[in-house]
Structure formats: structure tokens, C-alpha cells
């Protein structure tokens, strides 16, 4: 299953994404968004799922401050509702090759990988201030704890059923507001480390020539990501 991480502000491009690569993948998907109605002290959030639109709405912040909540509670709802054999977390600012995504999924499953994507280099544990300006809540404007092992960064990574069980049982969205680092820290604490596979690129030519599953359109240059 694919978890497409998005927000109401980007609803205008969902149909382009669905028509362009999401539906052609042939993999069931859920679009996860927040309602903006979040009590930060609550451990659980309300959720609603629309079968027609495949939209999972969670009562949490829909901006950067709510990303760890959307991922943690999105995974819990998806596992409870669908019990998928795997989950591919995808951000809504990429362009993707469906056939290469299918191949990536086949490789991960055949090799029995638990957590796989563009993995950052392993290093000593420490802190980072990267991305702090994106957050609004004062408690989120503190340095981010980094794992001692590698993290599958950002736009696209694979999670096995075993990883999903760990995240359902142990991921605390309030412990680290950077959702991908939170996933990595939670898995690392439970004995699951990242396997590195270069599945996305920041360079359009590399994607166009078939060297990656997806192009991360961080500068919003692709028509899919332009109003």
C-alpha cells in the first residue's frame, strides 16, 4: 500500500498525481491529510476514511508541526483498516515511474528488507537545526535528535509489515516532530536499521534517464507541482 502524505493546501494537485503515477502503479493507496483540529496533549486522534477518494483525514495539524502525527497515526489507521503487507511512504512533491516503483517493491519484498530508501550516512548521534524555520509551535523550534544509524530520508521509502508493527506499537509523534527521523529512531530502538537503495533523485535528468524511481521536485518545477 502507498501512503501519500499531503495536506489540504495541496488538494488541487491530487488528481494530477492520481492520473499521472498513483493509479498507474496498481498499488492500493491512501492520501493522508490533517484537519487542523489537534489537541497536542492527546495520545490518540480521531480519523475518518473516504473510500471513494481514498482520503484519510486525521484530527491533527495539517502543516509541518503535524507531520509526525500524520505519519504515526496514519500508519496506525492504515494497519488497523487494511493490514498491508508493506507500506511505501511517498510525499506529494515527487514525480514517479510506476513500473520502477513496482520493481523496487518486488526487490524489497524478495530480499525481506524492513526499511529501505535513500539512506543518509551513518554517524555519531547528534542534533540538527535543519528545517526548524518550517515549524510554528515553540516546542518544535529546538534542535532535532539524529539517530546513530542511517535514516531513510524524505520523499520515498519502504516499510515492511514488521516495521509497521513496530511503528504502530512504539512511534510517539510527540517525541520528534521530524517525521522521517522519528520513524528511523523508533525502528532503530527496536532493532531495525535502514537498507540503502537510491530510489529518488533531485536531478530531473537522472530520473528521466531511468536511474531512479522518482524525482523529488523540491523546487516545484514540474507541472504537477505548479498551480
The full DSSP string for 124-147 is --EEE-TTGGG--SGGGSSPEEEP
For residues 113 and 104, what is the distance between their CA atoms, to the nearest angstrom?
11
Q: What is the pLDDT of residue 86?
A: 98
Q: What are the structural domains of the chain?
A: 2-225 (3.90.550.50)
Residue 125 has pLDDT above 60, yes or no: no
For residues 111 and 194, what is the distance between their CA atoms, to the nearest angstrom?
13
Q: What is the pLDDT of residue 138?
A: 60
Q: What is the model's pTM?
A: 0.87
Sheet with 55-58, edge to edge strand ranges: 47-50, 55-58, 29-34, 2-5, 86-91, 152-160, 115-119, 195-196
Q: What is the pLDDT of residue 122?
A: 56
Q: Among the listed ranges 35-44, 45-54, 115-124, 213-222, which one has the minimum average pLDDT value?
A: 35-44
Retrieve residue 222's grid coordinates: 514540474
Retrieve residue 19's grid coordinates: 492520473
Residue 141 has pLDDT above 60, yes or no: no
For residue 24, the tally of other CB atoms under 10 A from its CB is 15
Taking residues 63-80, what's their average pLDDT?
Answer: 91
Q: What is the pLDDT of residue 127?
A: 45
What residues pair up with 89 in beta bridges, in sequence order? 3, 157
How large a percentage of the chain has pLDDT more than 70?
Answer: 84
Whole-angstrom CA distances from 104 to 7, 17, 51 are: 26, 19, 27
Q: What is the pLDDT of residue 175?
A: 83
Q: Give SS3 for 41.
A: coil
For residues 25 and 70, what is the distance between their CA atoms, to the nearest angstrom?
23
For residues 113 and 76, what is the distance between their CA atoms, to the nearest angstrom?
20
For residues 225 and 21, what is the distance between their CA atoms, to the nearest angstrom?
13
Q: What is the pLDDT of residue 21?
A: 95
Taking residues 172-187, what's their average pLDDT?
Answer: 88
Q: What is the pLDDT of residue 150?
A: 76
Taking residues 197-209, what's their average pLDDT?
Answer: 92
| Residue range 8-50, pLDDT digits in tens | 999 999 999 999 999 999 999 999 999 887 655 555 578 899 9
Amino acid at each position: 500500500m502507498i501512503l501519500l502524505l499531503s495536506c489540504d493546501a495541496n488538494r488541487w494537485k491530487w488528481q494530477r498525481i492520481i492520473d499521472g503515477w498513483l493509479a498507474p502503479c496498481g498499488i492500493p493507496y491512501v492520501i493522508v491529510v490533517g484537519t487542523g483540529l489537534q489537541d497536542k496533549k492527546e495520545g490518540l486522534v480521531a480519523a475518518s476514511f473516504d473510500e471513494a477518494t481514498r482520503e484519510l483525514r486525521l484530527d491533527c495539524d495539517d502543516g509541518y508541526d503535524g507531520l509526525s502525527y500524520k505519519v504515526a497515526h496514519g500508519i496506525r489507521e492504515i494497519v488497523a483498516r487494511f493490514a498491508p503487507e508493506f507500506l511505501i511512504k511517498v510525499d506529494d512533491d515527487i514525480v514517479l515511474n510506476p513500473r520502477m516503483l513496482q520493481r523496487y517493491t518486488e526487490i524489497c519484498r524478495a530480499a525481506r528488507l524492513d526499511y529501505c530508501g535513500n539512506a543518509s550516512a551513518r554517524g555519531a548521534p547528534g542534533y540538527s537545526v535543519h528545517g526548524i524555520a518550517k515549524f510554528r509551535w515553540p516546542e518544535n523550534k529546538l534542535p532535532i535528535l539524529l539517530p546513530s544509524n542511517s535514516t531513510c530520508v524524505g520523499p520515498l521509502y519502504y516499510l515492511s509489515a514488521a516495521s509497521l508493527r513496530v511503528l504502530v506499537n512504539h512511534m510517539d509523534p510527540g517525541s520528534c516532530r521530524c517525521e522521517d527521523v522519528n520513524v528511523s529512531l523508533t525502528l532503530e530502538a527496536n532493532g531495525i536499521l535502514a537498507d540503502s537503495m537510491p530510489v529518488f533523485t533531485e536531478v530531473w535528468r537522472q530520473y528521466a534517464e531511468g536511474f531512479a524511481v522518482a524525482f523529488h521536485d523540491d523546487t516545484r518545477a514540474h507541472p504537477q507541482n505548479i498551480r
